[in-house]
Amino acid sequence: MQINGHTELYGIIGNPVRHSLSPLMHNAAFAALGLNKVYLPFPAADAAAAVAAIRALEIAGVSVTIPHKQAVIPLLDGVDPVAVRIGAVNTIVRQGGELLGFNTDWLGANRALSRELDLAGARVLLLGAGGSARAIGFGLQEAGARVTLASRTPENGRELAQHLNCPWLPLAQAGQHQADALVNATSVGMAPQAANSPLPAAALANFPVVMDIVYAPLETRLLREARAAGCRGIDGLQMLLHQGAAQFELWTGEPAPLEVMRQSLLAGLNHKT
């Protein structure tokens, strides 16, 4: 694809964003379908200024990452009802002259998990109480799963559990729980905690499916020990891939080329290591 006067511009806003693998993933997808589009990182410390720039430059769509997922909401012309419930937007789509907000983080988690189990009626233990846990928790409930939340910080955990209307456990007690799936939505397992796991290895046999949203390293200690315990593991690259695929489909109306996107992410991870 040759960039020209008709090339549509997409990108990611946040601070920092230059480390993001999203440009590799989306540019590979655009190229695979022969679309005259390009995706760039846009470091942005101020959400209002970033959204104003999107409007002024007629940028066709952006991903939104930390710390702007909540701050952009009042700056948009409309927000998808599920994103409103989650309280966070990670995708902006230009439709006509309007900027509309969506959340695909929950779709990414649901699509990754649904490859291993039927989410309707499934019991899921969700670790964490941050933005990722919030999106994943709402998404699981949208699919009919029964969620139990566990976190290190009681205040944050109980607040999110109240929003989700689900039980809460201290993380120290999570290993005694049994469920159809375990999802780690904490930062335990990535640097500087790459040698750690949120649960003891002996507890993992309680969860037939274990998903970790950490993707660097691709095989976390949690996943390594889960597979050793006979669990079916889902690495963090799957959520990143499927949330990106949902973004691609919102922007283009085309089915996402999943294998092309997956290979670009793997290449990006291998280059970083």
Rg (CA), the chain: 19
Domain containing residue 38: CATH number: 3.40.50.10860
Residues 78 and 181 in one domain: no
Q: Which domain holds residue 74?
A: 8-103+238-272
Mean pLDDT of 164-179: 96
pLDDT band at 229 (very low <50, low <70, confident <90, very high): very high
**How many residues are there in the chain?**
273
Tokens of 185: 């939505």
- Give yes or no for a contact between 223 and 202, defined as CB atoms under 8 angstroms apart: no
> Are residue 179 and residue 150 in the same domain, yes or no?
yes
- Does residue 1 lie in a domain region? no
Whether 214 and 146 share a structural domain: yes
Point out which residues pair with 209 in neighbouring strands.
Answer: 181, 232
| CA 109 vs CA 81, 196, 236, 242: distances in Å | 18, 22, 9, 7
Confidence of residue 130 (pLDDT cuts 50, 70, 90): confident
Confidence of residue 273 (pLDDT cuts 50, 70, 90): low
Please indicate, yes or no, whether residues 118 and 186 belong to a single structural domain of this protein.
Answer: yes
Q: Quick check: is 211 in a domain?
A: yes
Same domain, 125 and 186: yes
Backbone angles phi, psi at 149, to 5 degrees: -105, 140
Give the bridge partners for 231, in sequence order.
none
Q: Which residues on adjacent β-strands are paired with residue 149? A: 126, 168
Which residues make Cβ contacts (< 8 Å) with residue 267, sequence separation at least 6? 24
Provide the number of structural domains found in the chain. 2
pLDDT on residue 200: 96
pLDDT given at position 19:
87
Does the pLDDT of residue 128 top 90, yes or no? Answer: yes
Is 272 designated active site?
A: no
**172, amino acid identity:** A
**Order of strands, edge to edge, in the sheet holding 91-95?**
37-43, 8-14, 61-64, 91-95, 98-102, 78-79
Residue 53 lies inside a defined structural domain of this protein: yes
Q: Where is pLDDT greater, at 43 or 187?
A: 43
The reply to whether 141 and 113 lie within a common domain is yes
What tens digit of pLDDT does each residue of 72-106 get?
999 999 999 989 989 989 999 999 999 999 999 99
| pLDDT recorded at residue 158 | 97
If asked whether residues 129 and 242 sit together in one domain, one would say no
Percentage of the chain modeled with pLDDT above 90: 88
Q: What is the CATH number of the domain that holds 124?
A: 3.40.50.720
Q: What is the pTM of this model?
A: 0.89
Which residue among 26, 37, 69, 221 is the active-site one?
69
On whether both 49 and 152 belong to a single domain, the answer is: no
Domain co-membership, 115 together with 227: yes
Same domain, residue pair 62 and 131 = no
210, burial (CB in 10 Å: exposed 0-12, middle 13-18, buried 19+): buried
3-class SS letters over 190-221: ECCCCCCCCCCHHHHHHCCEEEECCCCCCCCH
Residue 2 lies in a domain: no
Q: Is the N-terminal amide bond of 16 cis, ω within 30° of 0?
A: yes
- Which secondary-structure segment (H or E) carries 164? helix 154-164
